Amino acid sequence: AQSVSQHNHHVILSEAASLELGCNYSYGGTVNLFWYVQYPGQHLQLLLKYFSGDPLVKGIKGFEAEFIKSKFSFNLRKPSVQWSDTAEYFCAVTDYSSASKIIFGSGTRLSIRP
């Protein structure tokens, strides 16, 4: 069965610091990968997605993620965070061939100190 692991439960950074959130998945087949963000009081929104092609994908608000197939990883990065990036971040995976259910990780809460 597919699963997603996010090892950082809560990350606290100062503004302008660099960010990297870890995501590992377990699935042997071809996958589609996502990062979603949930700002306080708001619904889940897509940050970026990987379907195929260039393993380095860029999303909204300066976020990017790199798919490393050999490591089953899809880490999220941002070179310089802002206070407005305070939110919960979720990594998710789905089976590419069947495009079945989307499995989410437990999330990483990001707190940015102004």
32 contributes a contact to other proteins by CB under 8 A: yes
Q: For the chain, where are the E strands, in sequence order?
A: 3-5, 10-14, 19-21, 24-26, 31-38, 45-50, 56-58, 64-68, 73-78, 87-95, 103-104, 108-113
99 contributes a contact to other proteins by CB under 8 A: yes
Chain centroid to CA 60:
12
Q: Which residues contact 48 (CB under 8 A, 6 or more apart)?
A: 34, 35, 57, 58, 59, 60, 63, 64, 65, 76
CB closer to other proteins, 4 vs 76: 4
CB closer to other proteins, 99 vs 114: 99
Q: Which two tokens stand for residue 18?
A: 């660099």
Q: Which of 11, 13, 17, 44 binds other proteins (CB under 8 A)?
A: 44
CB closer to other proteins, 33 vs 112: 33
7 contributes a contact to other proteins by CB under 8 A: no
Q: Which of 43, 53, 70, 114 binds other proteins (CB under 8 A)?
A: 43
76-95 residues in contact with other proteins (CB under 8 A) are: 90, 92, 94
Binding residues (CB under 8 A) for other proteins: these are 4, 6, 32, 34, 36, 42-46, 49, 51, 90, 92, 94, 96, 99-107, 109
